[in-house]
Chains A and B, each alone.
Chain A
Amino acid sequence: MTARIGVITFPGSLDDGDARRAIAIAGAEPVALWHGSHDLDGVDALVLPGGFSYGDYLRAGAIAAHAPIMAEVKDAAAKGMPVLGICNGFQMLVEAHLLPGGLIRNAHQQFIRRDQRLRVENASTAWTSDFEQGQEIIIPLKNADGGYIASEEELDRLEGEGLVAFRYVGVNPNGSLRDIAGVTNERGNVVGLMPHPEHATEPGFGPDTRLAMRSGEDGIPFFTSAIAAVVAAAA
């Protein structure tokens, strides 16, 4: 079977096109979905892409989290469908309470764009199973509201239950508590992170590596992991 992975476009989404391209490169069929619809078009997995939905008004991702299609996203997530939130999509997932914690303005108040080193802290989620536990990867980061916060108690719970999916390595670019770059839900089907795997899936357009400039493809395993999860669920 060919997995069908939906990418939801919201008003102000920017990286929906790149996400669809990344999905195709990884070997699945990308399906364009619209925020104002109540139809997931029978997709097997979902990506909420980056951007600045509703101009980041109210709070980043807050208005989009109440979009019509989010009712179906919540239902699908509850049934175990793999859902990935990237950057603004991650902000939507925390605002929709599908993931724990919150995201606030970067500690240094600046927008930041850099190729960011991350450590995969949980390689058993629907979006990380093609990584090795503890593997270090480099994918682009670009945001203004990327500071991950939660209460000390909640942070201890996330650490204890293995819900921290990714941690910043070398540099903490935005003041995120405990260097947290991404988290997962208890079931492991919903994952969100601030950095952008979809921008590291095609030679010529990814981060620099020791081998060649812009050759980084560390984003690919996110999508192949989800494809594997979908195929396993169908088997």
Chain B
Amino acid sequence: MPTIVVDVMPKAELLDPQGKAVAGALARLGIDHFGGVRIGKRFELTVDGEVTDEVLATARQVADDILSNSVIEDVVSVEVVE
């Protein structure tokens, strides 16, 4: 069944308290390779049937209007995976 994957991230210029907490935990574990951690969301929209242009356009619309809030987040990708 085809799946459309939508990735949403907190806006780069805004705070990401969850990512900051994970970065702090990594530092406490002695892992010092990573300068920062940001946490986003991945949505998997399964499609019954073919992914037409219309279905993909609807997915992009849903990603912008419902899955993300443009005040605090960015949709970074909308991709079809089989």
| Beta-carbon contact of A104 and B67 below 8 Å | no
Interface string of A124-151 (1 = CB under 8 A from B): 0000000000000000000000010111
B8-16, B30-38, B53-61: which one contacts chain A?
B8-16
What number of residue pairs across chains A and B have CB atoms under 8 A from each other?
38
Q: Which of B13, B18, B66, B69 contacts A102 (CB 8 A)?
A: B69
Chain B residues near A (Cβ < 8 Å): 10, 13-15, 17-18, 21, 66-67, 69, 71-72
> Given the interface contacts A62-B66, A66-B66, does A102 sit within 8 Å of B17 by beta carbon?
no
* A153 CB, min distance to chain B CBs, angstroms: 11
Contacts of A119 in B (CB 8 A): none
Query: Looking across the interface, which residue of chain A has its beta carbon closest to that of B71?
Result: A102
Q: Which of A162-213 contact B (CB under 8 A)?
A: 175
| Complex CA distance for A11 and B13, rounded to whole angstroms | 33
| Complex CA distance for A102 and B10, rounded to whole angstroms | 11
Interface size on A, residues (CB 8 A): 20
* B43 CB, min distance to chain A CBs, angstroms: 9
Does A117 belong to the interface (CB within 8 Å)? Answer: no
Q: Which of B13, B21, B66, B72 contacts A104 (CB 8 A)?
A: B72
| Beta-carbon contact of B21 and A109 below 8 Å | yes
Q: Which of B14, B18, B21, B66 contacts A149 (CB 8 A)?
A: B14
Chain A residues near B (Cβ < 8 Å): 58-59, 62, 66, 94-95, 100-102, 104-109, 147, 149-151, 175
User: What would 19 A/B residue contacts be, using CB atoms closer than 8 Å?
Assistant: A58-B67, A59-B69, A59-B72, A62-B66, A66-B66, A95-B69, A102-B71, A104-B10, A104-B14, A104-B17, A104-B72, A105-B17, A107-B17, A109-B18, A109-B21, A147-B15, A147-B17, A151-B13, A175-B17
| Beta-carbon contact of B67 and A175 below 8 Å | no
Most central of A59, A94, A95, A147 by chain B CB within 10 Å:
A59
Main secondary structure of the interface of A (DSSP, over half): loop
> Given the interface contacts A62-B66, A66-B66, A104-B10, does A109 sit within 8 Å of B71 by beta carbon?
no
Contacts of A150 in B (CB 8 A): 71
| Complex CA distance for A134 and B44, rounded to whole angstroms | 48
| Beta-carbon contact of A94 and B71 below 8 Å | yes
Contacts of B17 in A (CB 8 A): 104-109, 147, 175
| Complex CA distance for A2 and B61, rounded to whole angstroms | 44
| Complex CA distance for A104 and B38, rounded to whole angstroms | 14
* A71 CB, min distance to chain B CBs, angstroms: 15
Contacts of B72 in A (CB 8 A): 59, 102, 104, 149
Further pairs besides A102-B69, A102-B72: 14, Cβ < 8 Å:
A59-B69, A59-B72, A66-B66, A95-B69, A102-B71, A104-B14, A104-B15, A107-B15, A107-B17, A147-B15, A149-B14, A149-B15, A149-B71, A175-B17
